[in-house]
C-alpha cells in the first residue's frame, strides 16, 4: 500500500537487499547484499561488477562508480570495468563518502581512513579501540562527522587530520546507522528510531526526535526536506527546520535500506531487491500517527 503517492517506477534489480543507490544520468546504479553492483535503465539491468561479500555503498561521479563492501575492498569502476581496487579495511566497510579529491571510509575494524581519489593512496588512518565502532559518515565543509555503533559522534578535519570533537548524541546501545548533510546540519538516523540533527559548526548543538519504532536505515535530503526510510518499510518526509512533524510518504512491507534524491525524484532501495521511484513534489498525505 502506498499512502498519498503513486509509484513512477518499480523493478526487482537484485536477488537480495539493495543497500545503496546513486543516479548516473539516466541510469540507476545500485549496490546489493547479493554482492553485485548493477545499472538499471527502464527494463534493462546490467551488472557493472561484483564483490566477494555484501556491497554496502556505491557512489556515482561524472566518470566513475565507487563501491565499498563487507569484503573490505574499495573499488573504482569505469565503463563496466574495474580500474582500481584496494584492500582498504580488514573487516566490513559500513560507509564511504567522496569529498573533493578524498574518500573517507569507516569500518567495523575500528578504523576511519582517508584516501586520495582516484589513486586510492592512503592519506590517514585512525584506530578507535574498544567496542564503540565507526559506522556511518557525512562530510560537511571539510569535516567528517562519524557515527558509531554506541551512539558516539566524532568529528575529523579531513585536511589537517585533527580530531575536533567527540560527543554522545544517541543512546549507549543505539547505532548511528545512517547519515546525510544539509547546508547547516548533519542528520543521523539511529537504530532506535531517532532522527538526530547536529549543527555543522561549533558548539555542535543537537536536536533529536523519535519518529519510528524501527531502525532508520536510510536518510537523504533535498532543498530543506529530509527523507527517512525505516526497517518497517515506511518513508517519511520531514522539514529539516521542524523534525517534530514527520509525514508518511509511502509504506511497503519490506525494509527501506537506501534513499537518494535526483532532481524531483526519490529513489528507494528495499530489502527484497526492489528499486522504487517516487515524485518528491507530490503532496504530503498526512501526519504520522
CB 260 within 8 A of CB 18: no
Beta-carbon contacts of 17 under 8 Å, excluding residues fewer than 6 positions away, are 32, 33, 255, 257, 269, 270, 271, 272, 273
pLDDT of residue 131: 65
Tell me the per-residue pLDDT of 135-174, one tens digit each, with 9 for 90 and over: 899 999 999 999 998 899 999 999 999 999 889 998 878 9
Q: How many helices and strands, by DSSP H and E, does the chain display? A: 0, 28
Place of cell 546507522: 177
133 vs 116: CA distance, rounded Å: 23
Beta-carbon contacts of 205 under 8 Å, excluding residues fewer than 6 positions away, are 198, 199
CB 249 within 8 A of CB 4: yes
CB 266 within 8 A of CB 259: yes
pLDDT of residue 205: 94
pLDDT of residue 60: 95
Q: Out of 21-35, 121-135, 251-265, which region has the weakest mean confidence (pLDDT)? A: 121-135
Supply 37's cell numbers.
553492483
CB 32 within 8 A of CB 14: yes
**pTM for this entry:** 0.91
CB 6 within 8 A of CB 43: no
Q: What are phi and psi of 270, to 5 degrees?
A: -125, 165
Length of the chain measured in residues: 289
Q: DSSP character for 61?
A: -
pLDDT category, 25, cuts 50, 70, 90? Answer: confident
pLDDT of residue 282: 55
CB 129 within 8 A of CB 107: no
- Give the sheet arrangement for strand 242-251, strand by strand: 216-222, 225-230, 234-239, 242-251
Average pLDDT rounded to a whole number, residues 50-77: 95
Beta-carbon contacts of 132 under 8 Å, excluding residues fewer than 6 positions away, are 148, 149, 150, 152
**Domains along the sequence of the chain with CATH:** 9-279 (2.130.10.10)
Q: What are phi and psi of 277, to 5 degrees?
A: -120, 135
274 vs 18: CA distance, rounded Å: 7
Q: Is the pLDDT of residue 1 over 50?
A: no
Amino acid at each position: 500500500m502506498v499512502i498519498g503517492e503513486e509509484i513512477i517506477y518499480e523493478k526487482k534489480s537484485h536477488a537480495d537487499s539493495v543497500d545503496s543507490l546513486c543516479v548516473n544520468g539516466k541510469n540507476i546504479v545500485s549496490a546489493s547484499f547479493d554482492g553485485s553492483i548493477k545499472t538499471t535503465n527502464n527494463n534493462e539491468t546490467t551488472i557493472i561488477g561484483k564483490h566477494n561479500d555484501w556491497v554496502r555503498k556505491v557512489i556515482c561521479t561524472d566518470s566513475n562508480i565507487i563501491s565499498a563492501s563487507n569484503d573490505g575492498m574499495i573499488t573504482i569502476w569505469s565503463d563496466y570495468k574495474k580500474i582500481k581496487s584496494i584492500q582498504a579495511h580488514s573487516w566490513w566497510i559500513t560507509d564511504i563518502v567522496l569529498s573533493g579529491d578524498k574518500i573517507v571510509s569507516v569500518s567495523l575494524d575500528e578504523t576511519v581512513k582517508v584516501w586520495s581519489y582516484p589513486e586510492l593512496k592512503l592519506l590517514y588512518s585512525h584506530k578507535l579501540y574498544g567496542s564503540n565502532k565507526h559506522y556511518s559518515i557525512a562530510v560537511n565543509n571539510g569535516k567528517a562527522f562519524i557515527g558509531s555503533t554506541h551512539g558516539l559522534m566524532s568529528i575529523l578535519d579531513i585536511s589537517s587530520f585533527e580530531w575536533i570533537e567527540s560527543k554522545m548524541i544517541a543512546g549507549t546501545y543505539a547505532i548511528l546507522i545512517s547519515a546525510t548533510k544539509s547546508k547547516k546540519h548533519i542528520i543521523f538516523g539511529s537504530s532506535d528510531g531517532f532522527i538526530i540533527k547536529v549543527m555543522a559548526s561549533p558548539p555542535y548543538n543537537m536536536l533529536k526526535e523519535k519518529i519510528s519504532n524501527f531502525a532508520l536505515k536510510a536518510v537523504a535530503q533535498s532543498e530543506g526536506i529530509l527523507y527517512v526510510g525505516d526497517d518497517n518499510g515506511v518513508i517519511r518526509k520531514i522539514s529539516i527546520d521542524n523534525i517534530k512533524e514527520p509525514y508518511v510518504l509511502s509504506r511497503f512491507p519490506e525494509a527501506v535500506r537506501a534513499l537518494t534524491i535526483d532532481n524531483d525524484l526519490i529513489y528507494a532501495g528495499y530489502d527484497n531487491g526492489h528499486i522504487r521511484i517516487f515524485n518528491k513534489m507530490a503532496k504530503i498525505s498526512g501526519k504520522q500517527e
